[in-house]
Amino acid sequence: MSRKPKKGYFVKGQFVAEGSELDLELKRELKGGLEISKTDLKRESTELQVLGEALMTLRSDLFKPLPLSDKLIDALAEAKRITNFEGKRRQMQFIGKQMRLLDPETLLAVREALEVQRLGSAKHTASLHLAEAWRDRMVANDDAVGEWIAQNPGTDTQQLRALVRQARKDAPPADNAAVSQGLAPRQSRAYRDIFQLVKSVLSPAKSEETDQVQDDQDE
């Protein structure tokens, strides 16, 4: 009497009987692979939705050159107008779907544009801190004024020295009570003007660029 053939399948030339240890192991690996794949897809979807949200903060001169679809551009503009929480959430999901349709080159361009903006913001912040440091040094010490003029010969020397003298004259008396509460003393107009003068030399195009970005956002 012939033996009934076992049910199974071949993997790389090897017969695997259904219900065997090898069969169960292969099925566990397959199931695990599918779970990992679903997790990766969900993670990618979330990342692209976040990337789409970041696109809404990208300034105009970096946004316009990106090869985005009209549908995505319209969706981003609509998301900026929506104030309802649930409506905003649904719109961001839609943006995430549109982001998944972008090719790898476009996604790379988006990430690079956001990085350019991030580094530019960091440099601007550092420039402001440097301007503050120079202002405080010049108000405190004439040597710092001379050092600044030597490094920046295009500075209006008379204006700078006049502002420094006025800032020293207008300097508020120390208020120990305010200092103890972490409150900065109110500074004079000359003190603030020194900062603006120094800032304009350190980053002369920044104020014009900021005004242009604001105009683009208001359109």
Domain of residue 53, CATH code: 1.10.60.30
> Residue 2: inside a domain, yes or no?
no
Q: For the beta carbon of residue 91, count every other beta carbon within 10 angstroms.
A: 19
> Residue 108: inside a domain, yes or no?
no
Residues 209 and 129 in one domain: yes
| CA dist list (Å): 126 to 24, 40, 118, 148 | 60, 38, 13, 18
Residues 160 and 96 in one domain: no
> Residue 117: inside a domain, yes or no?
no
User: What percent of the chain is predicted at pLDDT more than 90?
Assistant: 32
Q: Are strands 14-17 and 8-11 parallel, antiparallel or unpaired?
A: antiparallel
pLDDT band at 178 (very low <50, low <70, confident <90, very high): very low
| CA dist list (Å): 111 to 5, 48, 51, 98, 157 | 58, 11, 8, 16, 44
d(CA 150, CA 138): 13
Residues 15 and 98 in one domain: yes
> Residue 179: inside a domain, yes or no?
yes
What pLDDT, in 10s, does the model give residues 117-160?
Answer: 888 777 778 888 898 999 999 999 999 999 999 999 888 989 99
d(CA 135, CA 192): 9
Q: Which pLDDT value is given to residue 175? A: 55
- CB 140 within 8 Å of CB 194: no
pLDDT band at 183 (very low <50, low <70, confident <90, very high): very low
> Residue 21: inside a domain, yes or no?
yes
Which one, of 108, 98, 160, 99, lies nearest residue 135 by Cα? 160
* Stretch 110-119: mean pLDDT: 87
Q: What is the pTM assigned to this prediction?
A: 0.47
Residues 137 and 200 in one domain: yes
Alpha helices in the chain (DSSP H): 21-55, 60-63, 70-81, 85-100, 104-140, 142-151, 157-170, 176-180, 189-202, 206-218
Domain residues for the domain of 192 are 123-214
> Residue 67: inside a domain, yes or no?
yes
pLDDT at 207 over 50: no
Q: How many domains does the chain have?
A: 2
d(CA 66, CA 107): 9
Which residues lie closer than 8 Å to 32 by C-beta, 6 or more apart? none
> Looking at 25-29, 91-95, 188-192, which range is the least confident one?
25-29
Burial of 45 per CB tally in 10 Å (0-12, 13-18, 19+): middle
d(CA 134, CA 127): 11
| CA dist list (Å): 63 to 68, 121, 179, 194, 216 | 9, 16, 44, 35, 11
- CB 102 within 8 Å of CB 49: no
> Residue 116: inside a domain, yes or no?
no
Residues 46 and 129 in one domain: no
> Residue 114: inside a domain, yes or no?
no
